[in-house]
Chain A
Amino acid sequence: MRVDTWLDERPVLLDERAAVRAAAADKSRARPLPVPRSEHWKYTSTRAIGALGLEIGATAATLTVGAAPQGVTIVRWSEASPAQRAAAGPWFGRLATFDGPEAFVALNTALHDDVVLILVEAGADVADAVRIVHVAGGEDTPRVVFPRVLVLAEAGAKATVIAEWRSARGAPFVTAPVTELVVGDGASLEYVSVVATPASDFHLATVASTVAPGATLQATMLAFGEGLARCDTIVTLAGAGASVRLEGVGAAGASGHIDHHTTIDHAAPDCTSREVFRNIAGDHGTVVFNGRVVVREQAQRSDSDQQNRSLLLSDDATINSKPELEIYADDVKCAHGSAIGALDPEQVWYLRSRGIPDALARQMLVRGFGADVAARVAHPGARALATDALEAWLDQLIAGGAA
């Protein structure tokens, strides 16, 4: 990657982002890619990216945002009013930090060309989902893009944001998006991300959020494919009584590598977190789940539960599942569970005893393994999208001879 050249050639910004961008540039010049085999990147190597001969691309060509429903303003940073920039400015780069091993956050912060701002008015109850669609690839030139999104749900607002990360295939494509979600006092935000990565592509995403007092975030992170996807999801429960439901599915077929790294940071008292992730690995695929839960000293009466289940569909598939609990408060309730297995023969037998052929029984069970995650998406349109995407991908995984 010619990171130095890209940094030298990028336009100078004299706005609210300038200082953060300069710090990110310094970091990226010093070390553009993650340190191989470091703890944070233990199971996922990004070394192949360095050898792709990438050109930097413009997100204007790859990222589209649907119409803004009533109560929502969608505007690119480059076209935002001073008032809109003043509202978003204090949050930019504050949630997706890069003082640690987050190399792609630094690159994105230093090199992104624009920011999609999604501003939800205080108290607005928005029924229609805001939809972001990113289509990678479809070109002859290997390219990298740095999409950037900032969602600001003001106090008491209620909204849904769907982000779809698709691929048109073609030359290798690297998508390294950063999304920051601010859930204001008593607000309720649902975020659904669907990542599909074909064999030639790399997806390196960070979604970082902060949840204010009495506010709720429900995030559903689906990632599947035969390429490499690394999705870091960071939730800070910053205000008393905040809550998060973070769910996800990682599914890899062929030689795919899907990695969900999550951090839920209980930074205030009386917060609740519920986390459910499912891993499904077929063929030579690898799925990683690393779920970190931090309960700070001041976060008394935290209530957290993390459940991770994994399904191995072939002898050559790999699952790495790692819970990481760091608890510094004493009056807390923290549960976690992790299980890895093949399809349950009792379940296969039960379905077959009702006349369902073996192959179809297995297909139903693989579909069902992730289905409850998609079924818990609250917004009906987002739920349908998540369910269809998951079923289509899992059917493809099974058709690949994995089950």
Chain B
Amino acid sequence: MLEIKNLHASIKGKAILKGLDLVVPAGEVHAIMGPNGSGKSTLSKVLAGDEAYEVTEGQALYKGKDLLTMSPDERAREGVFLAFQYPVEIPGVTNAYFLRTALNAVRRHRGEPELDAFTFLQRVKEAMKLLEMDAEFRNRFVNVGFSGGEKKRNEILQLTLLNPSLAILDEMDSGLDVDALRIASRGVNALRDADHAFLVITHYQRLLDYIVPDHVHILVDGRIVQSGDRSLALDVERAGYVDHQASA
């Protein structure tokens, strides 16, 4: 699904990713853990196409295609989704209009017919029910006046509706209480199957109790320094990132 080779990226001339290698096959959930400033969020934004970052070396293949030459909206239509750590507020644009425009852009690209208003509404209602979101969030402006938890749930709502092949979750757990974390994770777990892959970026192992990863990677100073199974996350929680930082 995703194959990253020797990826280097910088922002405003400052190198953040310094030769990152990673392979995420279809059907798997990979967690990326690392201390602050290690490049976790940079990785997620570079993969999604944030133009503030510059890729200076290396490549990223998504389903065998060169991901890095695609525009951000092309990547999304091809099935890459980034759940933002800090979702953006958009006054004046209702959530329903936003969701429908995005969904139809993706569907057109897949050669599927656009959803009529009724079918769309049914889908949104189902997804919102799963995420225990109040129906009134449909008619509110995108993320405006949402609490931290509501914003994160709104990200998972988009994930559920757009049904991407590769979902990147950037610190989904930050700002979420346990209940909200459980509900949001339920939305993610509902999509897990042989055709979907997930890249779960987190600072804390707590999230991984809810979204259980197949593999865990430790990112330090722009490189993956260690990979392992779930137990690696538990080790990190006990001992911290100190040893890894020393070895980097």
A residues with a Cβ closer than 8 A to B are: 346-347, 349-358, 360-361, 364-365, 367-372, 375
* Structural contact, B93 and A356, CB atoms closer than 8 A: no
Contact A350 to B87, CB < 8 A, known contacts A371-B93, A372-B141: yes
Q: Which residue of B is nearest A366, CB measured?
A: B92
Residues of chain A within 8 A of B141, CB atoms compared: 368, 372
* Structural contact, B92 and A369, CB atoms closer than 8 A: yes
Task: For residue B42, give the distance in angstroms from its CB to the closest CB of chain A.
Answer: 15
Q: Indicate whether B242 reaches chain A with its CB closer than 8 angstroms.
A: no
Q: How large is the interface on B (under 10, 10 to 19, 20 to 34, 35 or more residues)?
A: 20 to 34
Contact mask for chain B residues 121-148; partner A; CB cutoff 8 A; 1 contact, 0 none: 0000000000000000000010000000
Q: Indicate whether B73 reaches chain A with its CB closer than 8 angstroms.
A: yes
Contact mask for chain B residues 23-52; partner A; CB cutoff 8 A; 1 contact, 0 none: 000000000000000000000000011110
- In angstroms, Cα B177 to Cα A149, docked, is 57
Contact A355 to B51, CB < 8 A, known contacts A369-B92, A371-B93, A372-B92: no
- In angstroms, Cα B97 to Cα A375, docked, is 14
Chain A facing B: main interface SS: helix
Task: For residue A340, give the distance in angstroms from its CB to the closest CB of chain B.
Answer: 16
- In angstroms, Cα B107 to Cα A119, docked, is 54
Contact A351 to B106, CB < 8 A, known contacts A357-B73, A360-B101, A364-B101: no
Q: Which residue of B is nearest A363, CB measured?
A: B101
Residues of chain A within 8 A of B48, CB atoms compared: 353
* Structural contact, A368 and B92, CB atoms closer than 8 A: yes
Residues of chain A within 8 A of B82, CB atoms compared: 353
Task: For residue A277, give the distance in angstroms from its CB to the closest CB of chain B.
Answer: 14
Contact A354 to B162, CB < 8 A, known contacts A349-B50, A349-B72: yes
- In angstroms, Cα B75 to Cα A371, docked, is 29
Q: Indicate whether B84 reaches chain A with its CB closer than 8 angstroms.
A: yes
Given A355-B162, A372-B141, output 6 extra A-B contacts at Cβ < 8 Å: A354-B158, A356-B73, A360-B101, A365-B90, A367-B92, A368-B92
Q: Indicate whether B22 reaches chain A with its CB closer than 8 angstroms.
A: no
- In angstroms, Cα B77 to Cα A80, docked, is 64
Interface residues of B in 50-104 (CB under 8 A from A): 50-51, 71-73, 75-77, 81-82, 84, 87-88, 90-93, 97-98, 101-102
- In angstroms, Cα B102 to Cα A351, docked, is 8
* Structural contact, A353 and B93, CB atoms closer than 8 A: no
